[in-house]
Structure 1
Amino acid sequence: MKVFVAGATGVLGRQLVPQLVARGHEVVGMTRTASKQDEVRSLGARPVVADALDPDAVAEAVASAEPEVIVHELTALSGPLSVRDARRPERSVAATMTNRLRTEATDHLLAAGRAVGARRVVAQSFGAFRFARTGGPALSEADPLDPDPPAALRTVQAGYLYLETAVTTIEWGEGLALRYGGFYGPGTAISRAPDAVMAAPIRKRRFPIVGGGGGVFSHVHVEDAAAATAIAVERGRPGVYNIVDDDPAPLREWLPVLATALDAKPPRRVPRWLGRLAAGEAATIMMTEARGASNEKAKRELGWELRYPSWRQGFAQGLG
């Protein structure tokens, strides 16, 4: 099939495009930066340059590709973490741009897909920690989201919901929204690379366990996430899917294991009041009250199999 990947040079795109090519698909990769065209070619795709926030440019790029499937992997979440971003994520440049990509760019891609007769759309959403803070550690796609998220996360959650609703309700094709867990592995924020966003604060013991550390996170190795996406390009009913590993776990369990994998000292422990003072209410809630996600639907309906079923194995063997 002809597949159009928006965000082909992003963290997931770099893993996804070669997998799609290996599965026999003809891939066109969109990038905003002309200098990245050679990188797109090296992945096995034909490059096209367009600003995802320019509707005319997106329409022209999609029309030139005439895809059967559009894959939306656009975010702006690379770059260093800061205490300010943790305290007020809705005000960070990365979050603001990513929200625009999840709303405006989604509209542009859907309009372009409809115009060329695409029959399927697969889009990136988020599922590492976003559910209502009740119930068990692993919630399904049918379980409710937090009805009253921290003020700092309301705009962010609105962006996820907009994308999921827009994609899964298209009438001219099949729309799938994939709620990825927290990525780890080569090129991600959790890797052994010197510039990995989370590696430096963990090595410097600036990423503590707050309170009891009971906030449950769902991780997924980036190669496994790309594999699920490649399958979703080919099959699966419209709807939302959690793309996470088999092992949702509280912060107090996975953070020390990650520190060991990064050859760092064990993380410090700080009381909840101090965590709230340093990082803000939103980050504190994530680390103490969040719930993880279940991948049963994705494994059942997509036939997805994970190379790294647990972060326990993945942190030891797959950080890159």
Structure 2
Amino acid sequence: MGGQLVPRLAGAGHEVFAMTRNESSKARLSELGAETVIADALDRGQVEAAVLDAKPDVIVHQLTAIGHVDTRHFDRSFAATNRLRIEGTDNLLAAGRRVGVQRFVAQSNGAFTYARTGGPVKTEEDPLDPSPISQMAPMIAAIGHLEKAVLGADWTEGIVLRYGAFYGPGTSMAPGSAQLEMIRKRKFPVVGDGAGVWSFIHIADAAEATVAAIENGAPGIYNIVDDDPAPVAEWLPELAKRLGAKAPMRVPRFVGRLAAGEAGAVLMTELRGASNAKAKRELGWRPAHPSWRTGLQVS
């Protein structure tokens, strides 16, 4: 996200300070148009010093540490990000309060977190999953903490962006990525009825929506997804076809659960999608890639 967001903000005339733990990132961030601040998001003293030095009008919280997601060990895959969404959020809010930031915009998740009951597409008024499976519970609890903390900060304008599943450059669904290669090689089957509904978003569209939220968003929650939520049984065969691969195999849910864990089975069969109507209406934003069907590049 940083690679997409920083140049857009700098190009719009904003003075951008980018926080990173790594000195090695300084040159890259400078090229993108940001002044680099070195700080560990889990160290409150370092975060407060960085924010006090920058004195920003807006804090944009995009902290994650998501690498390869192993659905058999979903909780392990998100453990570091969960800490950032709890401790990192609290640290940034505490620092922001000290300098009186006018707006606090935070990354949340609208791709994997809604309650798995009711209709296939959820709005911002619908709850996060109140009874997640054990492997996904820590992630949803961390997101719940982040959202409650940001929206409850009455000293600033708190905005939460529930992004859909990213695709595009630098994401897990970029051309040549391991995920697309699994689909190409028929190692990504449709599990059960494949009724889990996914909402996607091109990373560039997510960045554009974030700029809109920074510049004119009202406090609250916004789903940042494309116009085309689709069940796995629809999008996975379509993507395989575009990759020039054979149709994905179909396996019973119990087989999928053995291979991909309970979390993998949930993602394939029970997930709910998200509506972007509020973001389009209130942020004045429209995704340039309204559907994964045309936006997702496979080569």
TM class, shorter-length = over 0.9
Kept after mapping to 2: 8 A contact 1:185/1:319: no
Displacement, 1:283? 1.4
CA distance in 2, matches of 1:240, 1:198: 29
Aligned to 1:249: 230
1:24 pairs, out of 13, 18, 27, with 13
1:28/1:65 contact within 8 Å kept: yes
Report the number of matched residues: 299
Partner of 1:150: 133
| 1:88 counterpart letter in structure 2 | H
**Amino acid aligned to 1:232:** A
Q: Report if aligned partners of 1:216, 1:289 keep a CA contact under 8 Å in 2.
A: yes
Contact 1:213–1:288 (Cα < 8 Å) also in 2: yes
1:201–1:207 Cα contact (<8 Å) kept: yes
Give the ranges of 4+ consecutive aligned residues of structure 1 lying more than 6 Å apart after TM superposition.
none
Identity %: 56
Instruction: Indicate if the aligned counterparts of 2:128 and 2:140 stay in contact, CA closer than 8 A.
Output: no
Match of 1:121 in 2: 104
Can you give the 5+ residue segments of structure 2 that lack an aligned partner in the other structure?
none
Flag structure 1 segments of 5+ consecutive residues without an equivalent: 1-11
Q: Is the 8 A contact 2:166 2:173 kept in 1?
A: yes
Return the alpha-carbon distance in structure 2 between the equivalents of residues 250 and 294 of structure 1. Answer: 14
SS in 1 for 2:63: coil
Shift of 1:134: 2.3
Q: Distance in 1 between matches of 2:7 and 2:238?
A: 30
User: Counterpart of 2:19 in 1: which secondary structure?
Assistant: strand
Give the corresponding residue for 1:42: 31
Superposition map of 1:136-175 within 5 A: 136-175=119-158
Shift of 1:197: 4.1
Mapped to 1, the partners of 2:143 and 2:122 lie a distance apart of 17
Q: Note if 1:225 corresponds to 2:206.
A: yes
One-letter code aligned to 1:241:
Y
Residue 100 (structure 2) pairs with residue 111 (structure 1): no
How many angstroms apart in 2 are the aligned matches of 1:251 and 1:147?
23
Separation of aligned partners in 2, 1:63 and 1:262: 49
Q: 1:128, 1:184 → 2: CA distance?
A: 12
Tell me, in whole angstroms, the C-alpha distance in 2 between the residues paired with 1:142 and 1:179. Answer: 12
Aligned pairs (5 A) from 1:1-320: 12-78=1-67, 80-81=68-69, 85-90=70-75, 92=76, 94-193=77-176, 196-315=177-296, 318=297
Q: Which one-letter code corresponds to 2:84 in the other structure? A: L
Residues 319, 55 of structure 1: alpha-carbon distance in 2 compared, 3 angstrom cutoff: farther
Counterparts of 2:132 and 2:52, CA distance in 1:
39
Partner SS state of residue 81, structure 2: helix
Matched-pair contact (CA < 8 Å) for 2:129–2:140: no
What's the CA shift string for 1:109-166, capped at 9, x where partnerless? 0111111111101000001132222222211011122221111111110000000111
Distance 2:183 2:98 in 1: 47
Following the alignment from structure 2 to structure 1, what is the Cα–Cα distance between the partners of residues 8 and 173?
Answer: 21
TM-score scaled by length of structure 2: 0.96
By how many angstroms is 1:255 displaced?
A: 1.2
Judge conservation of contact 1:216–1:291 (CA < 8 Å) in 2: yes
SS at match of 2:295: helix
* TM-score normalised to structure 1 length: 0.90
Q: Displacement of 1:297 after TM fit?
A: 0.7
- Output the CA distance in 2 between the equivalents of 1:264 and 1:188: 21
